[in-house]
Amino acid sequence: MKTSHRMAGAALAVLTTAALTSCGSGSGAGSGPAADGSVTLKFLVDNSMGTTATAKALTDAFMRANPQIKIETETRPGGSEGDNIVKTRLSTGDMSDVFWYNSGSLLQALNPAQTMVDLTGDPVLAGVQQDYLPVVSQDGKAYGVPAGTLTGGGILYNRKIYERLKLKVPKTWAEFMANNDTIKAAGITPVIGTFKDSWTSQLFVLGDFFNVQAAVPAFARDYTANKVKFAGTPAAQAGFEHLAEVHAKGYLNEGFGSATNDQGVKMLAEGKGAHYAMLSSALPPVIATLPQAATDVGFFGIPGPDASRNGATVWEPAAVYIAKTSENVAAAKKFLAFIASPPAAEAVTAAVPPTGPYRIKGAELPEDAIQAAKDLQAYVDEGATAPALEFVSPVKGPSLEQITVAVGSGLTPPAEGAAQYDKDVEKQAKQLGLAGW
């Protein structure tokens, strides 16, 4: 679903960080080297605060190290409007030299073989972790480098509550529900729901994909080919069942239907609720006013049925790509190689608190990184992560958040919700011309 792919962006957009100081007003790529050998690159990014702050940190650090290359940054809207701008500018040959865009399935719609510079085997990619390359690749060719950090999609939890009630991080769904019983008995809200911001209702489904893939390794491929469905695949339908069960057991906060994401994070940080199915990127915006969120809130993946196959679903970072129409490919490659380096990660860390590990070799989280990011790093170190479905399949429907609100509110049975979502994706899959639809 389009909204699901932007969940990380939705959370990052509220980061209270500095806006760009240099926004180019022109369009299109730079015009090649000047007489003095200097080059001006144009860099298109979305206008969310998290992205603009990251882009500013990257460009400032790069230009300090490379004074012959100037980067003029211009912004575009996010969401579908921004998608259309990127597609139009690529198709008309009017794209900036380099541009920031999603990794994963949304990349496929940009026809990268015709519109982007192929980086396969190029030294530009030397600093990129191998696990990241599939989400910036099509037909075996790689096109981008990671911008920003990995984001975990699972359960944010209050560590102080766990400590006080002597609870352990659950590795199965049964253990998670047992913890909820203990928390409820202690007079604390076990699970926070914030359905006024309907996108937040999706995490129990989208964040469960590690468990889906563990149980049905070929699910993404077969789902794309219309050979399997959420409904009728127990591991895939489980996310809808989890949503329904949490509501049925009375674990949700009072007023969950009118609560917002900001209120949910605040409730968690203040210890008024124990668990919140959410992205790790939701935390940095509240740290300025609730500094305890940095240390008191941890992260764990949504537990599945088997403790021996415990892991976390992750949202991969967006990427920076080079337009094929650029007249400054050598300078653009130099910029991308810098982005995929530890010094670039350090520059970004100084501007935007990382919400998870970098996908850059040698880039490490700072000692004062938020606890949720450190917890996610542990999953990465163990090799116990899987990208969200939207990074490995282009099939997604626009109505998932409305469906999950209804299931999570007890209005729609989980099996029916799963079937509704299977129906929801059909139109989009047919529009993409996917085989089997």
Residue 49's pLDDT is 80
Topology agreement, domain 2-150+316-364 and domain 152-314+389-431? yes
Element containing residue 386 per DSSP (H, E) = strand 385-387
Structure tokens at 209: 């994909």
**Residue 47: helix, strand or coil by DSSP?**
coil
**Residue 429: helix, strand or coil by DSSP?**
helix
- Residue closest to 132 by CA, chosen among 296, 3, 320: 320
Element containing residue 75 per DSSP (H, E) = strand 69-76
Q: Taking the chain (437 residues) in consecutive chunks of 10 residues, what is each chunk's mean pLDDT?
A: 45 35 48 75 92 95 97 91 94 97 87 96 96 91 95 97 98 98 98 96 97 97 96 97 98 97 96 97 87 96 97 96 97 98 96 90 93 95 92 90 97 98 93 91
Helices assigned H by DSSP within 288-396? 293-296, 329-339, 342-351, 371-381
Phi, psi of 318, rounded to the nearest 5 degrees: -65, 175
β-strand partners of 415: none
Residue 24's pLDDT is 37
Those residues with Cβ within 8 angstroms of residue 25's Cβ, 6 or more apart along the chain or in another chain: 74
Give the amino acid at 176.
F
Tokens 């958040």 sit on residue: 401
Phi, psi of 320, rounded to the nearest 5 degrees: -110, 130
**CATH of region 2-150+316-364, choose from 3.40.50.300, 3.30.230.70, 3.40.190.10, 3.30.365.10:** 3.40.190.10
- Residue closest to 372 by CA, chosen among 251, 259, 276: 276
Instruction: Output the CA angle 288-290-295, nearest 5 degrees.
Output: 100
For the domain made up of 152-314+389-431, give the CATH fold: D-Maltodextrin-Binding Protein; domain 2 (3.40.190)
275 neighbors 300 (Cβ within 8 angstroms): no
Q: What is the pTM of this model?
A: 0.84
219 neighbors 235 (Cβ within 8 angstroms): yes
Angle, helices 414-424 vs 400-408, to 10°: value is 170
Those residues with Cβ within 8 angstroms of residue 433's Cβ, 6 or more apart along the chain or in another chain: none
Domain ranges of the chain: 2-150+316-364, 152-314+389-431
Residue 119's pLDDT is 98
11 neighbors 281 (Cβ within 8 angstroms): yes
Cα–Cα distance for residue pair 235/1, rounded to 1 Å:
19
